Structure 1
Amino acid sequence: MRLISISFTKIISIVVTASLLSACGFHLRGDYSVPDELGSLSLTSYDQYSTLTRMMRSQLRINEVNIVPPSENVPNLHILGESLGERNLSLYQNTTAAEKELTFTASYRVTIPDIGDKTFSTSVSRSYLENPLTALAKSVERDMIEDEMRQFTTGQIIRQMARLRSDIKAGHILTKEDLDSLDEQDKESTSDVKSTE
């Protein structure tokens, strides 16, 4: 009887906790880094039907970014291009490749009306074993790795868009000198606070 009451108490406490969390509006969103000003944007690409563009569109939707048609007064995410490079990491005794490294690079530009545009680049690397005896299986594995790298790249693009918060707050695209000056101001204000304590 006591065992039933303990498990019943646990179940009740879990249900009550879940109800309280859902009632207060708490939920995992995933849009932790997209600035509010980019809540609606247009997505353009060098190839509207590429796998990267489709994955980027999906990633924006997951992060609750409203994708709208391109317009002069709407922020724009433009995928400039993507490339895939490979190099041999190790060789078999017969000089065929044993292990390869794939590097996927994507570049894109974010344009914000009345502020300007900024170009970013992101890169992802993965390695895999190359076995000439299982060529078909390795081909499928390579395709899966490439898709995984594209998916990871879309997540990196979302995270890199967080860099635009300071640009939006400043009202213009910040140069490296502007960012260095902001860092100096932060250091000075921190040292002023420490000296007053």
Structure 2
Amino acid sequence: MIGLRGLIAVGSLLLLSACGFHLRDHYQLPDSLQQVAVQSTTSDRLADIIRQQLINAGAALNTDAKTRLKITGDRLERRTLSLFKSGQVAEYQLLYQIDYQILLPKHQPIAMHIEVARDYQDDPNYVLAKTREREILVEEMRVEAARRMVRQIIARLNDEL
């Protein structure tokens, strides 16, 4: 019976590897991204999150690296999605955007853009709780944007080089 379980386990592993399954945030970094410097003119928190995502992807951070990632802007917009009968806002959409450039030696800067959108419901009776919920949501959006950034950079550099 143990042999059958082992055979099933091996068969499952073979099926997973054959379908292209990879662990989340496991990337094949191009050579130009093995060492990278991150520069930011915006939020230090965003830069820290991006640095952590690059480390998770296998990149080494080095202030003297030839490849540079320059964060040129980030912004958060809030749009009204729906209203209560009284005219107060019932639901918002948050749109978080990051503009950045990849600077490679002997190449023109590559300008890129990322957007992450989330909806959240507002309730004027629970202002403090909804404020905290919004802060948590914005932090999650920053992390998601940083993940997407790393994937986008890797895909672009694999195509370019």
Short-chain TM bin: 0.7 to 0.9
Q: Contact conserved, 2:29 with 2:58, CA < 8 A, in 1?
A: no
Counterparts of 2:92 and 2:25 in 1: how far apart (Å)? 33
1:136 Cα deviation after fit: 1.2
- Return the match for 1:50 from 31, 44, 56: 44
Deviations, residues 68-92 of structure 1 (Å, cap 9, x unaligned) = 0135xx1000111100001111001
Quote the offset at 1:140 in angstroms.
1.1
Flag the structure with larger Rg: 1
1:34 equivalent to 2:29? Answer yes
Q: Is 1:33–1:158's contact at 8 Å kept on the other side of the alignment?
A: no
1:115 aligns with 2:107: yes
> Are the aligned partners of 1:33 and 1:159 in contact in 2 as well (CA < 8 Å)?
no
Residue 65 in structure 1 maps to residue 36 in structure 2? no
Q: Supply the AA of the counterpart residue of 2:31.
A: D
Q: Would you say 1:140 and 2:132 are equivalent positions?
A: yes
Give the Cα–Cα distance (whole angstroms) in 2 for the partners of residues 109 and 45 of structure 1. 10
TM-score (norm 1): 0.69
Give 1:89's aligned residue.
81
Larger fraction in strand: 2
Instruction: Write the distance in 2 (CA, Å) between the matches of 1:102 and 1:41.
Output: 30
CA contact 1:45–1:78 (8 Å) conserved in 2: yes
1:126 paired residue number? 118
Q: TM-score, normalised by structure 2?
A: 0.83
Query: In structure 2, how many angstroms separate the alpha carbons of the residues matched to 1:95 and 1:29?
Result: 43
Structure 1 unaligned blocks of 5 or more: 1-5, 22-26, 169-197
Counterpart CA distance in 2 for 1:127 and 1:40 is 36
Q: Specify which structure has the higher proportion of helix.
A: 1
Structure 2 gaps of 5+ residues are 15-21
Aligned residue pair count: 150
Matches within 5 A, 1:181-192: none
Residue 164 (structure 1) shift: 2.2
Match of 1:116, SS state, is coil
DSSP-derived class of the 1:98 partner? strand
Q: Per the alignment, do residues 10 and 131 of structure 1 end up closer, same or farther by CA in structure 2, a change over 3 Å counting?
A: farther
| Mapped contact 1:109–1:118 kept (Cα < 8 A) | yes
